[in-house]
Structure formats: C-alpha cells, structure tokens
Amino acid sequence: MHLSKASIRYARALYALGEEMHVSDEVYANMHLLMDFFSEAKDMRALVANPVIHPNVKRKALRMIFQDHIDSLSVRFLDLIIAKNRSADIYGIVREYIELYRGKRGILRTVVRTARPLNEAEKAGFEAWFAQTWPDKQVEMVNKVRPELIGGFTLRVDGVFVDKSVAGRLQEMRRELSVKVYQKS
C-alpha cells in the first residue's frame, strides 16, 4: 500500500505528541482499534474518505462511534484530520503510526494462521520460540483462524512466510506430481 507523504507526516506528528504527553501506549492501542474498525467496516472507510460528505457529518459519525472507546488525544486527532480534509488518509495514517510505534519500540509483529484457535499451551510454545529466536525484540503475536488450512500453521514474520499447514503440504505435493513426468521402466 502506497502512503502519501501527508499520512507519514501526520503519523509522525501524532507519535511525537503521544510521546510528549506520555500517552503513546494508549494511542497505539487506539490505533489498533481504528485499524480493526476500518479494515472490517469498508463502507465506513468509504464514507469518511468521500469528499462530497460534509466534514461535520464525518466528525459526528466518528465521534459517535469512538468517543467512549478511545482517548481524547486520538479523538482530537481524528477531528484535526477531518478538518484538514485528510479524511481519505485516515487508514494510511493509522497504519503508519502502528508501524512507527513498532519500529521505535522494537516490536516484531507475527501472524500465526491455524485451522482452529491456538490453545494456551500452543500460544506459550510459539511465544517461547519467538523469545528464543528474537531475544532483543518484543513479539506481538496475532492468531488468525483459517479452517481451510486443515491442520498445522502458517507464520508470517517481518515479510517472511513459512507454511507448515496440511493444505500447504497438499498443494506442494500437487505441484510436484504435476511436474514429474511418468517414466517407463
């Protein structure tokens, strides 16, 4: 996803302000909430990005949704973005803030996809492996359930993808079989 220079500047400004006010951890949690919301509610993302809709309508809608769920700095920041006609950049700003925060704090995001939710022992196993593999990083693990994996897991860490799923192994076998030519003995 290509980010505008304005998205990067706004995210950096929010990060600096959060650090100055000692609320950057709360803002980070709020940005995750906004990211999840805008990822799922694409119609709301389109409404907020629509230049035809008056900024006051956008501001009221976002305040109604988030007023009681995010801190005042994040609410004021959303107001500022809308007032400056940058509402189309909200998703990009949120993404950039999260990446900036993770980079500054040495947080490594991992996504573990499994056919069913991980139990506590499995989570602990992954966390122990992460701690051993990246001792200098704080690892933020997300477990996403994908029943089509059948069993096993896939892991995405910092742009690296590992597939240890049953579905992945079946697909690999299919590729191998389609490449091999039948040879007569």
pLDDT of residue 180: 66
pLDDT of residue 177: 82
Question: Is the model's pLDDT at 176 over the cut of 80?
Answer: yes
Cα–Cα distance for residue pair 92/10, rounded to 1 Å: 10
Considering the chain, what is the average pLDDT of its residues? 91
Which residues, 6+ apart, have CB-to-CB distance to 87 below 8 Å?
Answer: 48, 49, 55, 58, 81
pLDDT of residue 175: 86
Cα–Cα distance for residue pair 43/50, rounded to 1 Å: 10
Tell me how far CA of residue 181 lies from CA of 150, 169, 184, in angstroms: 29, 20, 10
Contact 65, 37 (CB under 8 A): yes
Question: Is the model's pLDDT at 185 over the cut of 70?
Answer: no
CATH topology of domain 5-103: Peroxidase; domain 1 (1.10.520)
Phi, psi of 158 (to 5 degrees): 50, 50
- Delimit the domains of the chain by residue range: 5-103, 106-179
pLDDT of residue 2: 61
Contact 109, 102 (CB under 8 A): yes
Task: Select 106-179's CATH number: 1.10.150, 3.40.30, 3.40.1710, 3.10.28.
Answer: 3.40.30
Query: What number is the average pLDDT over the span 49-60?
Result: 92
Confidence tier at 184 by pLDDT (50, 70, 90): low
Cα–Cα distance for residue pair 97/41, rounded to 1 Å: 20
Confidence tier at 127 by pLDDT (50, 70, 90): very high
Q: Where are the alpha helices (DSSP H) in 41-180?
A: 42-49, 55-66, 72-83, 90-105, 120-133, 166-179
